Amino acid sequence: MPTRKPRQTRRGRRGQWSRRFAFAGKLYLKECAYEQIWSLDATMAASNLNSSSATPGARIAAIDVGSNSIRLVVAEVLPSGGYRVLDEERENTRLAAALAKTGQLDPKAADATVTVLRNFLSIANGYGVSQLRAIGTSALRDAEDGPEFCDRVRKDLKLSIEVISANEEARLAFLSVARAFDISGRKVAVADIGGGSTEIVLASSGLVDQVYETRLGAVRVSERCGTTGKVSDKRVVELRDFLDRELKKEIGRPPFVPDMLFGTGGTFTALASIIMAQQGIAGQPMWGFRVTRPQIRHLVADLANMSLVQRCKVPGLTPQRADIIVAGLAIIERIMRQLQVNVVQVHTRGVRDGLLLTMVQQSPTPPAVPAEERRAAVEEFAKNCGEDLPHARHVARIAGELWQQLAGPLNLKADDRELIESAALVANVGYLINFEGHHKHSYHLIVNSELPGFERRQLQVLANVARYHRGADPKKKHENFSDLSLEDQQRVRALAAILRLALALDRTHQQNVGDVRARVTEDAVRIVIQSQGDTQVDVWAAERKVELFEKVFGRQVRFIARNANSPKRRRRSSHATKRATPKRQQ
């Protein structure tokens, strides 16, 4: 029986999933008259993708068990690393029809869903599919009897449904958008609206900064706010107020205003279909179609004033979606208001496309990545985020030297030298988003990057070290820190404490500090600096950054700057007036 992950209710549960978007080259979509082919530009290096586990020519399939509908897509893997769609099918079963009231799946809808899945499996078998993945989203995540339904499908159909988290759902939708549109150098938002939930991703230059998950699905909101039939003006106002409250609670104040909102899911394609029919261009490709917020607001008012029967006759709108379209469009319009964007661009694919791309790109046994390649990947990530690389490399050298010399006397892990050097290289990548709170943005960018060769646990430690290179000390009330094991919390404290010194020792960004030598005694750490220029400001800055170090290691920090053209000069920490109780790092 599948284990359902508990719903995460805290605002901005970010950094729970990880994909590599930093190294993508120009991406594009080819739309042909008789087939759709998704492919990578030849400029993307093969090393930037995981090796494919599905050989070219192999046929694969993905099934998405959603709250409103069940969808199947069958595809053929291409030599380029993309795929070609062979067949698609969908059926509205409204699995979440009774979920808001009962907390369980609708029995009739559950029976219908099993029947549809049986038919979909028959279609996939007819194509000779060699690999098939079925995922379940909001309805199966939230329903009390979701595990029982999955168990029934496994027994009756020999099909395992993987119930994915909202963060994973968002990841797949974003992966699809990143493959279909050129988002390099842009600040964008991606919204995936389903029947039971809506996921929103904020990204800058292809790097994910925030992921928000909400329970604002088209089916769920329709039932909650009573918008399936004709809707009064008063109820429309109540609907908007409800959505505003929920979005404000989940999103709050976004870190930046996106240049564009990309929308995935049936609500967005329905929106494009209706507007295109109004404009007399029905039948043209919907991919990339743009709609403004005023257009959506007017459309919501028009549709709300119609009865369900009238709505079913609206050109471009399928009868199966007529009862949930008002809520769905209102969700789009209020998201745009919350994010302060005026235009949404429709993406005709989404979660299923992301799932297929994952199947094509996954490697069952990825090879180990050599240290030099990991370092190159970290530097490339830093470069793409606009890091000052000469400064970052200089700080990485200082941090690495300090760690190597302090590891033995302070009982630190010598192998963590790579981590502190990597943290030095990416500590300030958050400047890509905003100067204010950039250390927090650095955390989200790093934890949402799939740096080659770094395991998930290492990425979390690395992101936390970058998070605490400035600002507040690590605290257990900080969610990103409390999620770590006790051992990793200790590592983060030690790594961040030393990184703060290393960063300060190039406060001028002039690389005046040469070799550093650290000597540890029972109650102090003496750091001798071989200067290559005027290090007065750098040492002054370092003296102001010793507090966390002295807390963690229980030793005062003293700096000595030496220059070949000047006599030896001794400096000590401003915190050295009161001796701390010696202790060793555990």
Task: List, in sequence order, every residue forming a beta bridge with 202; answer none if it has no partner.
Answer: 189, 210
In angstroms, how far is CA 110 from the centroid of its own chain? 31
The tokens describing 142, both together, are 């939230």
Q: What is the largest CA-CA distance in the chain?
A: 91
Coil, strand or helix at 458 = helix
The pLDDT tens digits for 31-74 are 322 223 333 222 222 222 233 356 888 999 999 999 889 999 99
Strands of the sheet with 187-193, listed across from one edge: 207-214, 198-204, 187-193, 260-264, 343-346, 290-292
411: alpha, beta or left? (left if phi > 0; alpha if psi -120 to 50): left
Average pLDDT, the chain: 84
pLDDT at 135: 95
Residue closest to 427 by CA, chosen among 335, 340, 498? 498
Q: Which of 18-22, 292-296, 343-347 has the lowest mean pLDDT?
A: 18-22
Say if CB 500 and CB 401 are below 8 A apart.
no
Distance CA 550, CA 547 (A): 5
State percent of the chain over pLDDT 70.
Answer: 85
pLDDT reported for residue 368: 62
pTM, entire model = 0.64
Of 323, 318, 272, 321, whose CA–CA distance to 299 is shortest? 272
- pLDDT (average), residues 569-581: 44
Alpha-carbon span 467 to 446, nearest angstrom: 10
Per-residue pLDDT at 317 exceeds 70:
yes
| pLDDT per position as a tens digit, 427-484 | 999 888 888 888 888 898 888 776 877 877 888 899 999 999 998 999 888 888 888 8
Q: Within the chain, how many helices (H) and strands (E) appear? A: 21, 17
Q: What is the pLDDT of residues 67-121, one digit of tens each?
A: 889 999 999 988 767 788 999 999 999 888 888 788 999 999 999 999 999 999 9
Rounded (10°) angle between helices 325-339 and 233-251: 50
Beta strands in 399-485 (DSSP E): none
DSSP 3-state helix, strand, coil percentages of the chain (rounded to 5)?
Answer: 45, 20, 40
Would you state the pLDDT for residue 400? 94
